[in-house]
Chain A
Amino acid sequence: MAQAFDARAQQERLVSRAQQALALAVSQGADAAEVGASVDQGVEVSVRLGEVETVELSRDQGIAVTVYVGQRKGSASSTDAGEDSIRATVERALSIARYTGEDAASGLADADLMARDVPDLDVHHPWALSTEEATTLALECEQAGRDVAGITQSEGATLSTGEGVRVYANSHGFVGSQKGSHHGLSCLLIAEDGQGMQRDFDYTSARDPEALRAPAEVGREAARRTLRRLGARRPATGTFPVLFDPSLAGGLVGHLMGALAGGALYRQASFLCERLNTPLFPQWFSLEERPMERGAMASSPFDGDGVQTRNNRFINRGTIASYMLSAYSARRLEMETTGNAGGARNLRIDAPQEPVEALLQRMDRGVWVTELMGQGVNGVTGDYSRGASGFWVENGKVQYPVEEFTIAGNLEQMFANLIGIGDDLDTRGSIHTGSWLIDGMTVAGD
């Protein structure tokens, strides 16, 4: 990498800045305070049509201070972590806390919940890669895709690598810090026939560069995904089963977690208000969080409140077994925090899985959706209506590509109508799941 990054030194620097900010806040009248600080550095190289297109070097840093004066709160942040800037940030946060209202639920998480078990979770694997080496890998990826017959144009391939350090500290004396790395390679290709152009992409991403898929494989998969879209028609309008590709099924898990999040619940902005311990999915389906999994995308021993993370089981045998709560949202709901300030970490499905071919057989006639578009998901009501493209399935077999249609339903009904999960696990993000087959959705096309 062109710029040297000493993660350990950065970690020490951020911890000392965070402690300095906390001491300053307390000395200037805060009853409690918390500080988040981070620094990230990375390189991104994009190639297109066999040539380097952009080389981007990034280095971001920031420090955010929250102070509590009685039950009043104030926050301020800055991208400059110099001493003067920290002083100004703390003063700003304190001055804001003079104008905010009393909030009985505000404040740090309880001191006895602070994380004590803080193991190294194996998420920091820096990649000593020169710009030239990064370029070579991206070129190899794009070329493999362009070599596939039928690919007519390219949006290029991008290799990115980065690492960073994150610190959270509060006036209980808790200081948590974590080093992490992230690497990825993606490729987006275009193919054209008499009907017009189609594009699609593939990517690989991992904490450890060793875990990335081979560049040529990513390029060829991007080509395969692009070519199979040519000749798309519009499906019939009607009610059909829908098979969601793994990455899209992960999106459904995301909508579920959004509705189980404390912030949505206490604002009454969730279709799952007052639904704890009631059935939502079929009995064979469970969903859990494994925040301490080694080397995983979202692993962390402490949450955004400094609270020890734990293996939460959100859905147990079809029933909502837990909400997803931070210290603040838990107080608002008169419950206990689940160690989820900042969200869920590493969600895993616990359910029987079957080959996609078997799911297509069970579907018999319907739509296999491989891409969704738009923001048509209403978290308050669960109403779901999104643009889609994919494949038409008849007699359990893929017939032809389809596009320019919508799929619609209500998330609550969709979860109840889940009839199978594929073994085609997508492990690139923090939610790992195979395809989902959901019965009885409305398809609007021709």
Chain B
Amino acid sequence: MLLTPGGLDMDSLDTGLSHAMGAGIDYADLYFQRTWQEGWILEDGEVKDASYNIDGGVGVRALSGEKTGFAYSNQISADALADTGKTAAGIVRSGTRRHGQAVSPVSVAASYAGIDPLNGLSAEDKVAMLKLADRVARSADSRVSQVSASLSGTHEVVLVRASDGTLAADIRPLVRFNVSVIAVHNGRRERGSAGGGGRYSMAQLRDAGVAERYAREAVRQALVNLEAVDAPAGQMPVVLGAGWPGILLHEAVGHGLEGDFNRKGSSAFAGRMGQQVASKGVTVVDDATLADRRGSLSVDDEGTPGQRTPLIEDGILTGYMQDKLNARLMGMAPTGNARRESYAHMPMPRMTNTLMMPGQDEPDDIIKSVRRGLYAVSFGGGQVDITSGKFVFSASEAYLIEDGVITAPVKGATLIGNGPEAMGQVSMIGHDMDVDPGIGVCGKEGQGVPVGVGQPTMKLDELTVGGTQS
């Protein structure tokens, strides 16, 4: 599927690799990829647009010490391998010419089924699913004025061949269903949206009843927002709901624990291995092995099997997320976190599914413990400056907590804090561990990859809430 159309076989991979293993190069890899993407969009009750995209190519990387040469081609052919290989190897012009090691295929325990997720559901079925979401949302409440829904899926096939002998392949399905509604009442207009998916088939998505579920959830959120009052401004306790609010971990600690930033000393967590970086009781892992999750990887983009990597254990920093380059330069082992957006992008250490482990507290007790604060259950997105540690994330559904009771919904407020400091503010951790519905996209240096997050209900004693009511 990957190599045959371009007339390649396993021997031609060795030849291709030998072009990239030029003078002075100590590691090289070839990354073959083909993707078939499909997207269906419903607006005004009709599926008005749909698209199909085919992409494919090979990325060739040559490393020498800390130097990387990289080139790619969207032709998968022997000529393209020779061209890109020589170009990538041009990063250094002198030195010993090493030979790649003999092939040793990587065996992995798959975290998802290697299927084509686009097949198994007819075009009529796909259209019907979108129309169902439209009907459910419109009949749920008369204040709903606009409904849009989308169904998308990617069938991705990759193969990695590296000079350290690595030979690994993966088939990665990824599907997603989304509903967005606008509700209007008394001249006020608000949006609600919901969605999810994972590494399985579109048929499984339909059988899970996502069209009805996300339509109802989007309407519920829009109606809550119609009632929302201005958010408070200033420092206060913040309780984060279980599941998707785990985006806080992703921003506040996750990025700061990626190997490249720590090797370069540019992360606020650099040089803090073994130190207390979070409250006792806080345990954070990056887990690529969760079954069928959006962020899961059976094998990463360098051919290293996906793993469960402890990052913080009981508040102590115990691990970084690594790719081969940074692991080698830091004298550590790769952790299966090398990821790239496509063959046309260089791999770097990235998160997969980043999770906080559950504690002992009752979620109700956590709410009751707050006299005046914020309860945030859904978020739009976040960002971090890994050097200063400052992170922000924007609530899309949040409520006031007054005297231990959840009261009025508040308009989207931005939460801001400092990663290491915020992790020290965690004072209660619920037992209600949950994962997000499968909607995360993480951006780093211009490359987007699908990720997952998860956490139980938890309380931070003090965080800055950026509303308008000071």
Hey, which chain B residues are within 8 Å of A59, CB to CB? 72-74
Residue pairs across A and B with CB atoms within 8 Å: the count is 245
Q: Name A76-120 residues within 8 Å CB distance of B.
A: 76-80, 85, 88-89, 92-93, 96, 98-103, 106
Closest to B39 in A: A75
Chain A nearest Cβ from B204, distance in angstroms: 21
By CB atoms of chain A within 10 A, which of B84, B266, B381 has the most?
A: B266
- Check B148 for interface membership: any CB of A closer than 8 A: yes
Hey, which chain B residues are within 8 Å of A75, CB to CB? 49-52
Q: Do A76 and B52 have beta carbons less than 8 Å apart?
A: yes
Q: Do A406 and B233 have beta carbons less than 8 Å apart?
A: yes
Chain A nearest Cβ from B429, distance in angstroms: 24
Hey, which chain A residues are within 8 Å of B191, CB to CB? 269, 378, 380
Q: Name B54-96 residues within 8 Å CB distance of A.
A: 54-57, 66-75, 84, 87, 90-91
Q: Do A197 and B387 have beta carbons less than 8 Å apart?
A: yes
Closest to B379 in A: A375
- Check A16 for interface membership: any CB of B closer than 8 A: no
- Check A74 for interface membership: any CB of B closer than 8 A: yes
Q: Do B385 and A444 have beta carbons less than 8 Å apart?
A: no
Closest to A106 in B: B48
Hey, which chain B residues are within 8 Å of A387, CB to CB? 383, 390-392, 414, 416, 466
- Check B470 for interface membership: any CB of A closer than 8 A: yes
- Check B182 for interface membership: any CB of A closer than 8 A: yes
Q: Do B43 and A80 have beta carbons less than 8 Å apart?
A: no
Cα distance A3–B87 when bound, in Å? 9
If A190-B266, A408-B466 touch, whether A54 touches B70 (CB-CB below 8 Å) is: yes
User: Pick the contact of B467 from A190, A199, A378, A385 — CB < 8 Å?
Assistant: A385
User: Pick the contact of B392 from A96, A153, A267, A376 — CB < 8 Å?
Assistant: A376
Q: Do A55 and B91 have beta carbons less than 8 Å apart?
A: yes
Cα distance A387–B252 when bound, in Å? 14
Stretch in contact with the other chain, from A45-53, A243-251, A315-323, A338-346: A45-53
Chain B nearest Cβ from A349, distance in angstroms: 26
Q: Do B466 and A383 have beta carbons less than 8 Å apart?
A: no
Cα distance A100–B130 when bound, in Å? 11
If A376-B394, A442-B469 touch, whether A55 touches B53 (CB-CB below 8 Å) is: no
Q: Name A391-446 residues within 8 Å CB distance of B.
A: 403-410, 442-446
Q: Do B389 and A196 have beta carbons less than 8 Å apart?
A: yes
Chain B nearest Cβ from A94, distance in angstroms: 11
User: Pick the contact of A55 from B70, B184, B390 — CB < 8 Å?
Assistant: B70
User: Pick the contact of A404 from B49, B90, B148, B416 — CB < 8 Å?
Assistant: B416
- Check B274 for interface membership: any CB of A closer than 8 A: no
Contact mask A23-52 → B, CB, 8 Å, 1/0?
000000000000000000000000010011
Q: Do B344 and A386 have beta carbons less than 8 Å apart?
A: no
Chain B nearest Cβ from A446, distance in angstroms: 7
Contact mask B175-210 → A, CB, 8 Å, 1/0?
000000010100011110000000000000000000
Cα distance A185–B420 when bound, in Å? 32
Chain A nearest Cβ from B257, distance in angstroms: 16
Q: Do B87 and A446 have beta carbons less than 8 Å apart?
A: no
Hey, which chain A residues are within 8 Å of B233, CB to CB? 237, 406, 408, 442-444
Closest to B342 in A: A79
Q: Do B392 and A406 have beta carbons less than 8 Å apart?
A: yes
User: Pick the contact of A78 from B46, B53, B346 — CB < 8 Å?
Assistant: B53
Hey, which chain B residues are within 8 Å of A234, CB to CB? 464
Cα distance A239–B468 when bound, in Å? 9
Q: Do A385 and B50 have beta carbons less than 8 Å apart?
A: no
User: Pick the contact of A444 from B188, B190, B387, B464 — CB < 8 Å?
Assistant: B464
Chain B nearest Cβ from A442, distance in angstroms: 4
- Check B310 for interface membership: any CB of A closer than 8 A: no
- Check B380 for interface membership: any CB of A closer than 8 A: yes
Cα distance A410–B231 when bound, in Å? 12
Q: Name B368-400 residues within 8 Å CB distance of A.
A: 380-383, 385, 387-394
- Check A389 for interface membership: any CB of B closer than 8 A: yes
Q: Do B146 and A269 have beta carbons less than 8 Å apart?
A: yes
- Check A204 for interface membership: any CB of B closer than 8 A: no
User: Pick the contact of A267 from B72, B124, B148, B268 — CB < 8 Å?
Assistant: B148
Q: Do B381 and A374 have beta carbons less than 8 Å apart?
A: yes
Contact mask B399-440 → A, CB, 8 Å, 1/0?
000000000000111101110000000000000000000000
Closest to B387 in A: A199
Hey, which chain B residues are within 8 Å of A198, CB to CB? 387-388
- Check A373 for interface membership: any CB of B closer than 8 A: yes
Closest to A60 in B: B344
The 4 closest A-B pairs by CB, nearest first: A406-B466, A387-B392, A101-B46, A374-B392
Q: List 24 A-B contacts (CB under 8 A).
A: A2-B90, A53-B66, A54-B70, A55-B90, A57-B84, A57-B87, A80-B74, A96-B52, A197-B387, A199-B388, A267-B146, A267-B182, A268-B182, A271-B189, A373-B391, A375-B394, A376-B412, A387-B390, A387-B391, A405-B464, A406-B413, A406-B465, A408-B468, A444-B467
Given contacts A380-B190, A406-B414, 13 further A-B contacts (CB under 8 A): A51-B67, A55-B90, A57-B70, A85-B54, A99-B127, A101-B127, A373-B392, A374-B394, A378-B412, A406-B466, A408-B231, A409-B468, A444-B466
